[in-house]
Amino acid sequence: MRLGLGTGHQLIRQHKLISRLTTTTTTLSLIINPTTTTTTTTTTNYQHPFLINNHPICPIPLRLNNNRSFSMAAQSTTIQPPQPPPQWDHTPEQIITLTKQAIQDSRDLLDTIAATKPDQANFQTVILPLADNDLLTTVAEILTFYQYVSPEEALRTAAVEADKIIQEYDLEVCSRMDVYEALLAAQKNINPDTLDDESKRLIDKLLIERTRNGLHLDQDSRQKFNQLKNRINNLAIDFQKNLNEEQGKIWFTPEELKGVPEDILSGFEKDDQGRLAMTFKTPDYTPVIQYAIVPETRKRASLGYDSRAAINVPILEEIISLRREAATALGKPNWAAHALEIKMAKKTETVFSFLKDLRQKITPVALKERQELLKIKQEEVQNLGLDTDPTKLYVWDYRYYDRLYTERNLDLKAELVKEYFPVSVVVEVILETYQALLSVKFFQVKDAKLWHPNATQWAVWDSEAVADGRAEKGEGFLGYLHLDLEPRPNKYGHAAVWGLVPGYEKKDGTRHYPVAAMVANLAKGTAQKPALLTHDSVVTFFHEMGHVFHQLCSKTKYGRFHGTSVARDFVEAPSQMLENWCWTESQLVKMSQHYLRKDEKLPKELVQKIIASRDVNSGLFNLRQIFFGMYDMYVHTSTDTLDLTRHWCESRDEISLVDSDPAMLSPGQSSFGHIVGVLIFASLLGGHVRECVLGRSDVGQDGGPVPRRDPPAGRGQGRDGQSDQVPWKAAERAGVLETSASESSLSTTTTVRIRYAYIDLSSV
């Protein structure tokens, strides 16, 4: 029962973040909150996507639904956020129009920067306006979010088009030699001793992102690189669109689905022949691959799942080929070397060495686990007369026999565990937990204009400010959260968090507040039972909420450094460490409630079994994660002509210790969304493993876990369980999630590890 980066979890989609606004036509605060007046310095009439003609779409006072505060404490209706919430009611035409307008405003600003004379280039005339320029393009990028969540095809199509327009313009921004020359002149004229660390880092980032986009090349080479990069960006958008809008299904007879829980099957579409349709959405596919007794059923489900986005096969092939050309144009040995320059790992050799070392340590453990699963398979084949090779652990066998192993050795049945995790209870308790842990408070925004009726919008405050009355004056506001948790067609298919708008410091010293959205596909209710979560899904939700609060609690001067804009292979650190609470007795009990017997919590015996299951078959699980990373690294470093599908299947079998049908190769790489993103997955995997190590255990010589030492008595987890167990106050929250943009990810890791280790949620 674990969360895998390559399967159930998707990283946040990276958007360019909004920086501090100082010289652009109007601040984002004014754009979203027109009650704030700010002096402008240009005459361009800039319009924000969530306003019409620079007036609020819904200018009435914000109404908060106090009955939906997760603190369950009634609050005064006079509490008004200092910034109005986004209104999600755009038309397809508005999406394109506003995107193009934002880009034109940005282009005008860059023209002004480029016209700066070298002796007048400084922080105020060049650097801050460039930071402001992030705002103009990112405002439009907010509109691209519709492609992941809107039920309307026209809106999704417009958002995809807007995304491509923005990606193309981003290349223009980073390839303007005249702006680059102004930036170099400003760097030469600026005394770094007069700048704070975050401002120094801003200059470094502005320079790096331009040199990485080929500004050191001659004009012809630069133009070729831009053409390659633009094509790559567009293909990556198409790749993800195909995944989002995939609507495949497989029809099975009831006999073929023998073993799948009845409450799951009751939610399947049924035809006039009595057949049942399994979609490839997680709530449908996962139970079939885990419970279907008939091997052929699992095989069909697995092959279908891997092939659900087969349309992406030629797209990925072209992306890999174009990335090779782009790396060559930049003078890099390969695309991986280019991508890793700005990661913590830095070099391809570091990543390969890390993955190789992990594989060597973990494989002996995984081989033992494989033998245990094969023993169960051999017994079942003999007892049930199944038509399958008992000596092979097929890729479609792993999750089935992993479940049986857990049930037999720990007497732990996932279906029984689900009965104690109704979605309605778990979501509320997890949000209550974060409220208590981080000293924050949620209030639902009533009558919010959102992309779907099932989505919700929340205003998030510092709880101390609410308690002592400062919130009445607008103090202590943290930002807005959106939740979209139920599965539906044409929606992003996994769980992820979008940092839609970052926070940053405005010219007058006040703050603009962030906006975040969590998208998930938790579970579907049926006529027999409400929506129930597996423990895996509980962990996933808790993990993703960690990303949400990294976004909401972050406090930086410039928006481009806000929240999760840390090194890509560090971004998982806070969430990985926070999700450890889902394996503690106190939190498991707190999150549980039997869906029928409302006063019944998880029994202690069942809690202990859940905790004991954490490292069951972890060797096989982690080898699969290593496979994802090694595949990514290989295709981005190889100079050979590759059959991507064959290499996917053969590498998966070799590294993950599973078998497949060589006559039926399935293109699993066509749904591997990470591989077309802005980061190398192997580097991310390294960060994922490091963060698991930092947050919970170390890897022993035999590849097994070495448990973390108990934190000492005192701050957080006192031996007597008394008054020293208290939630983080605002100052302590600042030390963990409001990390300065000037700090390195490695130093932040140490801070986060120490602080997380000493907090006990049983006290909150």
Which of the residues are catalytic? 544
Cα dihedral value 134, 135, 137, 139, nearest 10: 150
- Closest among 376, 399, 406 to 260, alpha carbons compared: 399
- Closest among 182, 169, 174, 171 to 210, alpha carbons compared: 174
Angle between helices 535-553 and 423-438 (to 10 degrees): 40
One-letter amino acid identity for 167? Answer: Q
For 456, the enclosing helix (H) or strand (E) is strand 456-462
d(Cα 202, Cα 133) in Å, to the nearest integer? 13
d(Cα 712, Cα 87) in Å, to the nearest integer? 48
Cα dihedral value 153, 16, 549, 609, nearest 10: 70
3-state helix, strand, coil in the chain (%, to 5): 55, 10, 40
d(Cα 71, Cα 87) in Å, to the nearest integer? 25
User: Which one-letter DSSP state was computed for residue 394?
Assistant: B
**Count of residues in the chain:** 764
User: Which residue has 């639902």 as its token pair?
Assistant: 444
Side-chain-side CA neighbours of residue 352 (13 Å): 11
Angle between helices 197-211 and 128-142 (to 10 degrees): 70
User: Which residue has 């007069």 as its token pair?
Assistant: 194
DSSP 483-523: EE-S--TTS--S-EEEEEE--EE-TTS-EEPPEEEEE----
Strands (DSSP E) contained in 185-308 are 249-252, 269-270, 276-279
User: Going by C-beta distance under 8 Å and a sequence separation of 6 or more, which residues neighbour residue 307?
Assistant: 666, 667, 670
Q: CA angle 318-679-686, nearest 5°?
A: 125
Radius of gyration of the chain (CA): 26
Beta-strand pair 515-519/477-484: parallel
d(Cα 1, Cα 322) in Å, to the nearest integer? 38
User: Going by C-beta distance under 8 Å and a sequence separation of 6 or more, which residues neighbour residue 372?
Assistant: 405
Contacts of range 745-753, beta carbons closer than 8 Å, 24 or more positions apart: 745/344, 745/566, 745/567, 745/569, 745/570, 745/573, 746/344, 746/570, 748/566, 748/570, 748/573, 749/570, 749/573, 749/690, 749/691, 749/694, 752/573, 752/574, 752/577, 752/694, 753/577, 753/694, 753/695
- Strands of the 440-445 sheet, one edge to the other: 64-65, 440-445, 456-462, 477-484, 515-519, 496-501
Token pair for residue 585?
């007795």
User: Which residue has 């981080």 as its token pair?
Assistant: 438
